[in-house]
Structure 1
Amino acid sequence: MIYTKSSKYDTAFVKENMMGPNSMKIIEELAESLNLEKDMRVLDLGCGKGLTSIFLAKEYGVTVFATDLWISATENYERIKSMGLEDKIIPIHAEAHDLPFAQEFFDVAISVDAYHYFGIEEDYLTNHFAPLVKKGGQIAVAVPGLKKEFTDGVPAELLPYWFEDMNLTLHSCDWWYKLWKNSDSVRIEECKELKCLEEAWQDWLSCDNDYARRDIGMMKAEGGNYFNLVSIVATKSLSEKSVMHVEKSQ
């Protein structure tokens, strides 16, 4: 895939504001599955330092509610102003279970490299995320994942880099598909591996960042054998009891 949109942004700016694999390349690929139109209201949940929000506002002319817990709204507002997007992006500081938005307020809701921290809960999609989206609106998530579940335990080569919470947050396409399939709130459109894994990770590992340097050894040990980027796109059901017709892609 050629990243014609994200490649237009200043490399130093992007690297300075990365918090993991290059979220601009991830959102560029994810957005190919979305129906984004000018002036739509978009929730960007777990926006980090706002790279995905900046991309969506710049490239699609949507109004983005850039919501994060770890990064303050004031810090993100300064970045937003530096890009001349203060009329298109509203920075919000909020926790994912206590979002200050009206139900069915958004045309689209997205979450890139963040949803796995809270969306692994069985009822999160139904009780917290989907209610904020208009009926017929889209919900899209991209998260770091696994090619398949570690049913026999974490591979030995990854153990030096493995944190306990990774057992909870890293899962396969099949795992995410089954979790979302249990919700009456959405109709799944696709669940697949993104193609940008290698490039997004290479961009992150080249950053002058202690967390990026820590990840170099992990990705070398992984050797392309275990990790992926999972994307799942769904439509908010017109009624909670509607019958789901699902196509799943690998």
Structure 2
Amino acid sequence: MNTSFTDTFDRDFLLETMMGPNAMRITEEMASFLPISPGMRILDLGCGMGISSILLAQKYDVTVFAADLWVSPSDNAKRFASLGLDSKVIPFLVDATKDIPFAHEYFDMIISVDSYQYFGNNEHMLPKLLPFVKKGGFMAVAIPGFVQEYPEGQLPKEVQPYWTPEWYFYSCPWWRTLWEKEASIVLTDLREMDSCKQAWDDWLQSPNPYAQRDSAMMEAGAGQYFNIIQLIGRKI
């Protein structure tokens, strides 16, 4: 059995930089479904502290534009430089809901891991982002969600004490319906990701106080209703 890149990476570094279920592990699985080749330009939108960007740059030898709203690009730049990636991963401060500071048809792919649900759960974001992707390029997102759609007021009892509307958790069919409204992209892949449990288990070992809060939720059994949804579309 081949050892994953994520499992060989500095564990302490990962635990300190996770901001949710292990984004490096999730990115590694999703990337295996994408035609990534050296020299590509990839926008990592909502990169957090950049562990998804690090995976892409180190494993695939691509140039990554690491964009986030909440994490300082100066802090990310130091992190990338500490790994010798300052010429491969370029940090930006970007609010996806506002102007996006890149050229049209500049990227081979846009990737978003555990962040797209916050700004992309509407009919406006895909048509806004796709002009920045080359024709034939890909849009790929991995988002936490529910294994099925739960009508308002009918969440499982294990989830109810912890749930807030700001989770923006939806099901695979919900996301399929949304993406199929966009005529300039063909949905090539929609699946529940295999790394869901391991990514959550990694996160719960982080010293991040949000991880400690999530431990009680997972111990209560809420995780049996969670998945991580992979959506990949090709621009036509």
2:170 match: 171
**Within-5 A mapping of 1:56-205:** 56-97=56-97, 98-126=99-127, 128-151=128-151, 153-166=154-167, 169-205=168-204
CA distance in 2, matches of 1:230, 1:179: 14
- SS of equivalent to 1:21: coil
CA distance in 1, matches of 2:173, 2:39: 34
CA distance in 1, matches of 2:101, 2:203: 31
1:134-183 residue CA offsets vs partner (Å, 9 max, x unmatched):
000011000001100112522222121111323xx100111111100010
Structure 1 stretches of 4+ with a deviation exceeding 3 A read none
CA distance in 2, matches of 1:87, 1:31: 21
Q: What's the CA shift for 1:2? A: 6.0
- SS of equivalent to 1:150: coil
What amino acid is the match of 1:39? G
Structure 1 residues 2, 20: closer, same or farther in 2, change over 3 A?
farther
Asked whether 1:221 is paired with 2:236, we answer no
Structure 1 residues 76, 28: closer, same or farther in 2, change over 3 A?
same
- SS of equivalent to 2:218: helix
CA contact (8 A) 2:205 2:211 kept: yes
Q: What's the CA shift for 1:225? A: 2.7
- SS of equivalent to 1:67: strand
**Within-5 A mapping of 1:10-25:** 10-25=10-25
1:33 match: 33
Q: How many residues are treated as equivalent by the alignment?
A: 234
Which shows bigger deviation, 149-158 or 92-101? 149-158
What amino acid is the match of 2:46? G
Percent identity of the aligned residues?
46
CA contact (8 A) 1:3 1:28 kept: no
CA contact (8 A) 1:111 1:140 kept: yes
1:67-123 residue CA offsets vs partner (Å, 9 max, x unmatched):
000001101000000010011111000101221011111001100000000000112
Query: TM-score, normalising length from structure 2?
Result: 0.96
Unaligned segments of structure 1, at least 5 residues: 238-250
- SS of equivalent to 1:136: strand
CA contact (8 A) 2:158 2:222 kept: no
CA contact (8 A) 1:3 1:25 kept: no
Asked whether 1:231 is paired with 2:230, we answer yes
2:8 match: 8
Q: What's the CA shift for 1:222? A: 3.0
CA contact (8 A) 2:21 2:199 kept: yes
Query: TM-score, normalising length from structure 1?
Result: 0.91
- SS of equivalent to 2:13: helix
CA contact (8 A) 2:57 2:85 kept: yes
- SS of equivalent to 1:99: coil
Q: What's the CA shift for 1:201? A: 0.4
1:172-229 residue CA offsets vs partner (Å, 9 max, x unmatched):
1111111000101200101000000111000000111210000011112235431000
What amino acid is the match of 2:156? P
Structure 1 residues 120, 81: closer, same or farther in 2, change over 3 A?
same
Structure 1 residues 189, 57: closer, same or farther in 2, change over 3 A?
same
Structure 1 residues 2, 21: closer, same or farther in 2, change over 3 A?
farther
